[in-house]
A and B are shown apart, each in its own frame.
Chain A
Amino acid sequence: TTITALRYKDGVILAADSRTTMGAYIANRVTDKLTQLTDNIWCCRSGSAADTQTVADLLKYYLSMYRIQFGHDPSVHTAATLASEMCYQNKNMLSAGLIVAGYDEKTGGDVYSIPLGGSLHKQPLAIGGSGSAFIYGFCDANFRENMTQEEAVEFLKNAVALAMERDGSSGGTIRMVILNKDGMERKFFAIDTANPIPVFTH
């Protein structure tokens, strides 16, 4: 898996590859690893599919209860704290690496990384999954804060594409979610389509 999320000028963008494997077998080549938690908060999932789906479902439930009880949407911080709490308290049983990201009118959008142990890290750019090991250099060299939407989409597309070319457990297509004041937009990239995946290897 390769998952990424960043804060840009107008909000946040999440991106992921679409490969799910069982050993060397590709169980699903068009997986959607981006999961909606609330209207304006999404998460990227990596690790065990069953574990992360369960955690995401529970998060979704608790966040909807929050909204009912308090009469307003939970902040990205609240969602991420709740996610990290679940991952930390159950760290012995879970194999779940999450990135929680969402748009917030007060903060302009936040990105939180929750790696394996359940720690919580607020970051302008978060990368995760096995494929991320291959793109730390690329991200260090090319990431800038306050990018335009076009720049940010291009940056994440290239980052995920590079990881997909080198990591055996990343591949297939690229899925994205853009979150800003106008709401949400989904993007999809695949080879031999109008929205192709960039190729770096000759």
Chain B
Amino acid sequence: MSQSQFDPYVQNGGTTVAIAGDGFAILAGDTRSVNGYNINTRFQPRVHEVGDDLVIGASGFEADALALVKRIQQRIDLYHDNHERKMSAQSCACMVRTLLYGKRFFPYYVYTTVAGIDKEGKGEIYSFDPVGSYEREWCRAGGSAANFITPFLDNQVNLHNQYVPGSHGKERKPRRLLKLEEAMKITTDAFTSAGERHIEVGDSVLVKIITKEGVETRIIPLKKD
């Protein structure tokens, strides 16, 4: 005799990449939404503008992701009413943490990223685990193909295992902040490569670029197979 158990979670796939630089932050997410080997839709945005030049990336269980983004949006609206000023990315991240930890024992099955710009104009990225542990970072890959993209980002953004030519592996390449177009190129390559090796990555990438001028949206096409 077997009993069927209540199973409230579905893995809908989805991958996000965030890179912060001097004067910008980009948050990109592929738009394929899957259920097992079936594609639900080829265009499901998982990076969301929530106002105040803040962008939320949320992937994992789509229903939870959308519910979380909706609650973040509501909390930002409340914040405006109460404080009559823009919400900073730092405040937003702190608030998202409480939303996630508030469901510590029935979590939002979501990998969340918050992107914005800090007071000095530097890009700001905060990444979260499903129960609210968070950290500010310069770059982060989240979601189903994060395993594939993270080592690429380590190498291309943080220059891990890269040495000055001719130094015979003695002198490390100095760390530097990326320019926007460099970061865009790395993001594009990350997604096209992940698409070649992960069945849940494909169709297109929705990119949100945050600068002090505001938020710009770009779409990068990917293979559809």
Across the interface, do A170 and B198 meet the contact criterion of CB distance under 8 Å? Answer: no
Complex: how many Å from CA A20 to CA B60? 24
Question: Which residue of A25, A165, A169 is within 8 Å of B198 (Cβ)?
Answer: A25
Question: Does A128 sit within 8 A of B, measured CB to CB?
Answer: no
Question: Which residue of A21, A130, A165 is within 8 Å of B225 (Cβ)?
Answer: A165
Number of A-B contacts (CB under 8 A): 43
Residues of B within 8 A of A25 (CB): 197-199
Query: How far is the CB of B137 from the nearest CB of chain A, in Å?
Result: 25
Complex: how many Å from CA A108 to CA B57? 58
Which of B34, B38, B200, B224 counts the most chain A CB atoms within 10 A? B224
Question: Does A116 sit within 8 A of B, measured CB to CB?
Answer: no
Question: Does A156 sit within 8 A of B, measured CB to CB?
Answer: no
Query: How far is the CB of B221 from the nearest CB of chain A, in Å?
Result: 10
A residues lining the B interface (CB < 8 Å):
19, 21, 24-26, 29, 130, 164-172, 191, 197, 199, 201
Main secondary structure of the interface of A (DSSP, over half): loop
Across the interface, do A170 and B225 meet the contact criterion of CB distance under 8 Å? Answer: yes
Q: Given A130-B37, A170-B225, are A201 and B42 neighbors across the interface (CB < 8 Å)?
A: yes
Complex: how many Å from CA A130 to CA B199? 14
Complex: how many Å from CA A139 to CA B3? 40
Question: Does B189 sit within 8 A of A, measured CB to CB?
Answer: no
In the complex, what residue of chain A is closest to B225 when comparing beta carbons? A171
Q: Mark B94-132, 1 if CB is under 8 A from A, else 0.
A: 000000000000000000000000000000000000000
Question: Does B219 sit within 8 A of A, measured CB to CB?
Answer: no
Q: Given A24-B144, A130-B37, are A165 and B199 neighbors across the interface (CB < 8 Å)?
A: no
Residues of A within 8 A of B223 (CB): 171, 191
